[in-house]
Amino acid sequence: MIENLKGAAAVVTGAAQGLGYAIAQAYAREGMRLALLDVLEDKLQRVAAELAGAGADCLPIAVDLADAAATERAIHQALERFGAPRVLVHNAALLIQRSMLEITLADWQREVNIILQAAFILSKAVWEPMIRAGGGSIVYLSSGSGIKGFVKEVAYCPAKHGQEGLMKVLALEGQPFNIAVNTITPGAPIHTPMSESNYTDEQKRDWVDPALLTPAFVFLARQDASGVTGQRLNAWELSQSLGSAG
């Protein structure tokens, strides 16, 4: 476990907007060096310019995480610049609500690849560097859809379930190498572009700024296998408890 994150490297996917952007801002405030991955190139450049303007050492990498070869190139670019990350947060995801009758194989593969295939590729790429560095922390963004089924989530649900399974295996395999692997669910309705498209009006009444969830991600960046690992965490509850503890 490390207390001071200043100068440590983080890789955050889906950092151009929403929760990933809030996590990147929180890590920048800790003085971390940041590799930020997203498919929305213009937005990502603006985020990187804003964080760099505030003093962060920041590398924006435009990449479609549904594309295996492009994902490998992107994470190797991050590793070349910063070395082993202290934390990898795979936050990017796509949720397109389609029923079994509506969805095509290509649609299904795209969502699954962004969520699950990219989790594997990114984790595989940082695994040996983290071992050589003496440890690290890997985090996948989970959801209620990681443990339950929802209508019209034919791709999203199984992909999020798959991340839970990958986490459980890697937490065991990471133990001797001091690598923590966890999933984390927001735990509260969050005001993000994904929620704009998918929430009901009722859910939108109670949504919160994703910045309120970021203490949980700072906590996770400090972890290794001597701390919290193999868990499915709740970002809202953890952030609240860290806030009241601090």
Ligand X SMILES: NC(=O)c1ccc[n+]([C@@H]2O[C@H](COP(=O)([O-])OP(=O)(O)OC[C@H]3O[C@@H](n4cnc5c(N)ncnc54)[C@H](O)[C@@H]3O)[C@@H](O)[C@H]2O)c1
Catalytic residue among 21, 27, 140, 156: 156
Q: Which residues of 192-219 are buried (b: 16+ CB within 10 A; e: fewer)?
A: beebeeebeeeeeeebeebbbbbbbbbb
Which of the stretches 24-32, 58-66, 119-127, 226-234 binds ligand X when contact is defined by CB under 6 A?
58-66
Provide the minimum distance between the beta carbon of 6 and ligand X in the complex, in angstroms, as a whole number: 26
- Assigned token pair, 56: 């962060």
**DSSP string over 195-218:** HHHH--HHHHHT-B-GGGGHHHHH
Q: Does 190 bind ligand X (CB under 6 A)?
A: yes
Q: Report the Cα 202 to chain-centroid distance in Å.
A: 26
Q: Please identify, using beta-carbon distances, which residue of 65 and 216 lies nearer to ligand X.
A: 65
Interface residue with ligand X among 35, 92, 213, 228 (CB under 6 A) is 92
Which of the stretches 4-12, 47-55, 187-195, 225-233 binds ligand X when contact is defined by CB under 6 A?
187-195
Provide the minimum distance between the beta carbon of 37 and ligand X in the complex, in angstroms, as a whole number: 6
Q: Please identify, using beta-carbon distances, which residue of 19 and 154 lies nearer to ligand X.
A: 19
Provide the minimum distance between the beta carbon of 197 and ligand X in the complex, in angstroms, as a whole number: 8
Q: Is 140 marked active-site?
A: no
- The 10 Å Cβ neighbour count of residue 127 is 19
Interface residue with ligand X among 9, 24, 28, 94 (CB under 6 A) is 94
Identity of the residue numbered 66: A
Question: Contacts with ligand X in 192-211 (CB under 6 A)?
Answer: 192-195
Are 164 and 143 spatial neighbours (Cβ–Cβ below 8 Å)?
no
Which of the stretches 3-11, 127-135, 189-197, 225-233 binds ligand X when contact is defined by CB under 6 A?
189-197
Which of the stretches 3-11, 32-40, 80-88, 147-155 binds ligand X when contact is defined by CB under 6 A?
32-40
Give the whole-angstrom CA distance, residue 183 versus residue 137: 11
Give the whole-angstrom CA distance, residue 103 versus residue 189: 26
Provide the minimum distance between the beta carbon of 158 and ligand X in the complex, in angstroms, as a whole number: 13
Q: Does 40 bind ligand X (CB under 6 A)?
A: yes
Instruction: Name residue, tokens 């889906």.
Output: 14
Interface residue with ligand X among 12, 24, 66, 179 (CB under 6 A) is 66
CA 190 → CA 80, 85, 143, 202, 224, distances in Å?
Answer: 34, 27, 12, 13, 27
Are 146 and 164 spatial neighbours (Cβ–Cβ below 8 Å)?
yes
Given the rule CB under 6 A, which residues bind ligand X? 14, 16-20, 38-40, 63-66, 91-94, 114, 141, 143, 186, 189-190, 192-195
| Active site amino acids | 156
